[in-house]
Amino acid sequence: MEAGSVVLMDLLWSNLIENDSVEELRPNAPSPGLVTFGPDRVMEFCNNNDLQLIVREHEISEDRLSPKLPNRCKDLVTRIVRLPPQDEDMLVLLLAFWVKAMNPKRADWLLVLKELTTMESLLLAEVLEHELLEDSFEANVRDYTKLIDIYGKQKLPQKAENANNFT
């Protein structure tokens, strides 16, 4: 993986260490291959980039997520639901890096969709559009019908019509 890609992966997926007394880098349990950053690394990053602090968005409480949702999918869902609906570029980046890091199967994609449906995510249709283009999703006719149905429920007839021509 290229150096720039590693940095972007760390920025998108890595977490801060929960305990300030633990320094350096540690493995990130929910995201294999990624790290958690200690306070020393955070301060170094802030100093190197002339920042005073880093403000993190609040985490989604675990009780809102299905207990059956695997960690590989849980990480993605929590990040998707924190995105503003108009930030489709960041969504595309998140999904692309998740695919590269996790090599999901159709079952993983379906679990993510189910969880986003339960949480009434405004990005559900955009995630499904992306999935339809992924080989690992193994799309079928029913999946395209589902996308048209989602846009219909959102009262977006033009997008539903475009989804009808998606194939």
Distance of CA 98 to the CA centre of its chain: 7
Nearest-angstrom CA–CA distance, 84 and 123: 9
| Tens of pLDDT, residues 131-163 | 999 999 999 999 999 999 988 888 888 887 777
Contact of 13 with 97, CB cutoff 8 Å = yes
Judge whether 106 lies within some domain.
yes
Nearest-angstrom CA–CA distance, 138 and 47: 46
Report the 10 Å Cβ neighbour count for 137: 20
Residue 83 DSSP class = S
Residue given tokens 């290229």 in the structure block: 2
Supply the range of the domain harboring residue 16.
3-48
Q: Using the predicted structure, report yes or no on whether residue 73 has a pLDDT greater than 70.
A: yes
Q: Per-residue confidence at 58, pLDDT binned at 50, 70, 90? A: very low
Residues of the chain with pLDDT > 70, as a percent, come to: 71
Judge whether 143 lies within some domain.
yes
List the end-to-end C-alpha distance of the chain, in Å, as a whole number. Answer: 32
- Considering only CA atoms, which of 37, 119, 26, 111 is closest in space to residue 72? 111
Contact of 95 with 13, CB cutoff 8 Å = no
77 and 7 within one domain? no
113 and 82 within one domain? yes
Average of pLDDT values for 61-83? 81
Please indicate, yes or no, whether the overall pTM of this predicted structure exceeds 0.75.
no
